[in-house]
Structure 1
Amino acid sequence: MAPSHPTSPPSPPETGRLLAVGDIHGCLDHLKRLMERVRPRAADRVVFLGDYIDRGPDGRGVLDYLLAFRRRHPRSVFLKGNHEAMFLDFLGGVDQLPFLLNGGAATLESYREDRGIRIPKEHLDFLAGLALYYETERFVFVHAGLRPVLPLEEQSEQDLLWIRDEFIGSAYDWGKTVVFGHTPRTEPLWSATRIGLDTGAVYGRVLTCCDVERRRFWNSAAPPALRP
């Protein structure tokens, strides 16, 4: 089962970069290209904001990559997105249609083997262990956003994974910068209180990473093709 409402222990002082990565959606090529540019180091903490699967061609490959990444970078944080929630519901036989209507067929196809579709236990354990949010002294990382006025510990899982306009259109300040994905944009959203990092890789745009303390951005834009 997925964690209900985890509380994050106070984070130690960051000695490396504090990085966040937007919605991947099965776009393994974008993820590899982005990480080649960011070059995470041992002292860095990388927070992945969820939606690793669905719509894109290689959900399985993305999870394999993230599991290997976690072994190399054990300080990494992996958040739950609404698409992981729908996948878990599908696998549990609960309300299966939303998963299929929101790009889940591409994820299932990526797991197809000679004898049918098989989800490795390591992937199931990874999905079940995803956190709903991660908090540091200056930042809150969450997949979709926060409901205005409510403190972090009173936020519902539904809002943490699904909220859009009520969060983005609000001027409410939680006292920390909220770093989120979920709502695709043509470029990152950033202000004193918000950093939005879903830049629509699965829709033909790019995957984005941000050093949130220095406000430095990288993306997965392909290099220009060489002329023949």
Structure 2
Amino acid sequence: MRTLVIGDIHSGLKALEQVLSRAKISRTDRLIFLGDYVDGWSTAVETIDFLIGLEQTHDCVFIRGNHDELCLNWIQTGEDNPVWLQHGGASSVASYAKANTSTIDAHIGFFNRLVNYHLDSNNRMFLHAGFTNIKGVEHEYFTKTFYWDRTLWELALCLNPLLDKDHPYYPKRLMHYDEIFIGHTPVTRIGETTPQKAANVWNIDTGAAFDGPLSIIDAHTKEVWQSDPVHTFFPNEKGRN
């Protein structure tokens, strides 16, 4: 059984379908989605519909992203959030304006089923953003950290690769898990468009919300599959800005 990890989708359904096809997924694979399913391109409703259907036929783990929480809050409360609207939320609002009540109810159920993190039997940790507690995720005080934190990735990038794990200065929060898989912070910020490793942290967000592709990585072999740049599927849209 393969464990395939899928980066931030941001409503890019056509890119998701393409990269799943390129990875030749089967029902023996475990699919771990790292969150941010919505807010970006115009097919938010269609993307969640597709994921709900995939959940019925495949072994899926759906992790909560910050955009998923923001979208759910808007669906349930209608609260105005100008910052969210400016960073992808407006496209989700437009998409949900065409959805009926039963669809919206099903999506609320989906969003509420999302998990904050997943630890597998190989001591690999999967979560959207990061954590700050030096004792690991089980001891994190603020659960929103799991889908908002950027310091874990910043720490991994800054770490001296020559620093041994036995060194007293080695970051303790990196020592609990053999590998950590995250999204949230696009690697395009460091000039890359493929999944990147720093220390024992793998970042799978390859900028699908902007000009990058959507990526899948095999957690064991590290084989990577990518879609075409997601914006090419939506030529008349700007995506997130």
TM tier, shorter chain?
A: 0.7 to 0.9
How far the C-alpha of 1:201 sits from its partner, in A, is 1.3
| 2:208 aligned residue (201, 209, 217) | 201
Partner residue of 1:147? 132
Shift of 1:40: 1.3
Aligned counterpart, 1:183: 185
RMSD: 2.1
Partner of 2:155: 169
Distance (whole Å) between structure 2 residues aligned to residue 183 and residue 218 of structure 1: 19
Structure 1 stretch 206-215 or stretch 151-160: which is displaced more? 151-160
Post-superposition offset of 1:99:
3.0
Which whole-Å CA distance do the structure 2 matches of 1:111 and 1:88 have between them?
11
Corresponding residue number in structure 2 for 1:221: 228
The match for 2:68 among 81, 84, 87 is: 84
Q: Which residue of 1 aligns with 2:37?
A: 52
Q: Which amino acid aligns with 2:114?
A: L
Structure 1 stretches of at least 4 aligned residues deviating more than 6 Å after TM superposition: none
Question: With structure 2 as the length reference, what TM-score do the two structures score?
Answer: 0.78
- Alignment gaps of 5+ in structure 1: 1-15
Contact 1:146–1:167 at 8 Å: present in 2 too? no
Between Structure 1 and Structure 2, how many residues are aligned?
A: 205
The letter for the 1-side match of 2:10 is H
Amino acid at match of 1:152: V
How far the C-alpha of 1:19 sits from its partner, in A, is: 0.8
**How many angstroms does 1:138 deviate by?**
2.4
The aligned residue for residue 211 of structure 1 is 218
3-state SS in 1 of match to 2:32: strand
Among 144, 152, 157, the alignment partner of 2:143 is: 157
Aligned residue identity for 2:17: K
Q: 1:128 aligns with which of 102, 112, 117?
A: 112
| Larger helix fraction of residues | 2
Displacement after TM superposition at 1:95 (Å): 5.6
Pick one of 93, 99, 102 that aligns with 1:108.
93
Percentage of pairs with the same residue? 28
